[in-house]
Amino acid sequence: MSATVELRGVAKRFGAVVAVDEVSLTVQAGEFLTLLGPSGCGKTTLLRLIAGFETPDRGAVLIGGAEVTHLPPHRRDVNQVFQSYALFPHLSVRENIAFGLRLQGVTRAARETRVAEMLALVALADCVDRQPHQLSGGQRQRVALARALAPRPAVLLLDEPLAALDARLRQAMQLELKRLQRQVGTTFVLVTHDQAEALAMSDRVALVNRGRIEQIGRATELYDRPATEFAAEFIGQANVLEAELVGRSEGSVRLRVGAGFELHVPAAAWPGEATRAKIAIRAEKIRLCAPPASGEEPGFSARVEEKVFQGASDRLSLVTADGGRLIAMAQSGYAGQGSFRPGDAVWCAVRPEDVVVLGAT
Ligand SMILES: Nc1ncnc2c1ncn2[C@@H]1O[C@H](COP(=O)(O)OP(=O)(O)O)[C@@H](O)[C@H]1O
Ligand SMILES: [Mg+2]
């Protein structure tokens, strides 16, 4: 039912533009993998290479272990869902869903059964005789999904499938897509530029940057252990800083960050004999409290420059002693963290295990 997708050293350029640059990637059978990256980084081209709408300049595409690099789209066991849904406007929901089955030569009776199955799967049984213009955006998206899944492809490709929906509906559909994928067990390769969407739905996320895969892993791995500056900054809010090694003690190293403050990180996280490296600290990993009376507390001082209300949390812009800037998050409305205002002096603490060392510079 589901199949692996493998790209081996795949490259694709359009004139002078390198859209995909030597990508190698294996998607497991039944996996939900998301290609996440900024606009223009090559996500759609990667999907089109898997679908067969583009042929790579170099490298190979395999589906279910068989090479399909030069096979046309209809000879690949793959189907897709587009951002625009691309439903047939004059066909009913039933006819839209049955369309691919008719092309496959599925008998009328079998088509009926499959359509009913798909309608139940996407909870649209009430809308079977409507036309697309009589449906809401979310319902259209479900029809598009049902239509794409009806022929039971081994792999489903989804290019920004939720982009046209409003924020609330998008969140509901994220959960639904994930449930649906579990239920049918089909391999899903989804493209999005929305990090929250990628983190919420995927078994693994491949972060794409300038036609290359920057990092691939489970959502929590990408979030907690970004491997590069790009990964740290694209997902979540991170402070990327230059750090210099100023001391070693048992099990940890002491770093000076800018000229402003010092931090400890576990020695194992530091790149060998390097003296300088870039580090990343997630905004919400900076703990804020009132400046301590004694100088004993580990941490450093800063001043709140700006505070932006973001609902569940406040985003604070901090200035350290050397004039460096940091972004911190504080839970709104809590007596401790949430009560700081612009101009206040604060004490910042970062646990050594929350400092991510990105690599020697
Ligand atoms: N058919 C094409 N002709 C020329 N350039 C293209 C074509 N398709 C994509 N590109 C270029 O390749 C790069 C990657 O595009 P795309 O894969 O659509 O990125 P994404 O989906 O991540 O936004 C972009 O610079 C884009 O302009
Ligand atoms: Mg795209």
Domain ranges of the chain: 5-230, 237-360
Report the pLDDT value the prediction gives residue 334, as an integer from 0 to 100: 61
- Give exposure, 108-121, as e/b (b: 16+ Cβ within 10 Å): eeebeebbeebbeb
Judge if the beta carbon of residue 40 lies within 6 A of ligand 1. Answer: yes
> Position 186: which residue type?
T
305, 345 in Cβ contact below 8 A? no
Nearest CA to ligand 1 atom 1: 14
The per-residue pLDDT for range 277-325, each reduced to its tens digit, is 999 999 999 999 888 877 667 889 999 999 998 888 889 999 998 888 9
Identify the residue whose C-alpha is closest to ligand 1 atom 5.
14
- 38 within ligand 1 shell (Cβ under 6 A): no
Q: Which tens digit of pLDDT belongs to each residue from 224-235?
A: 999 999 999 999
The CATH superfamily label for domain 5-230 reads P-loop containing nucleotide triphosphate hydrolases (3.40.50.300)
Options 2.40.50.140, 3.40.640.10, 2.70.98.60, 1.10.3720.10; which CATH number does 237-360 get? Answer: 2.40.50.140
> In this predicted model, what pLDDT tens digit does every residue of 316-355 receive, in sequence order?
999 998 888 999 998 876 655 568 889 999 999 999 999 9
Q: Is 4 in the pocket of ligand 1 (CB under 6 A)?
A: no
Tell me how far apart the alpha carbons of residues 131 and 338 are, in angstroms, rounded to a whole number.
50
- Nearest protein Cα to ligand 1, atom 4: 14
* Ligand at shortest distance from the CA of 158: 2
Same fold, 5-230 and 237-360: no
Shortest-distance Cα residue to atom 16 of ligand 1: 42
The closest-lying atom of ligand 1 relative to the alpha carbon of residue 45 is 17
CA distances (Å), origin 209, targets 41, 214, 215: 5, 6, 9
| pTM of full prediction above 0.85 | yes
Atom of ligand 1 at shortest range from CA of 48: 17
Residue 107 tokens, joined? 């008998």
**Ligand nearest to the backbone CA of 40:** 1
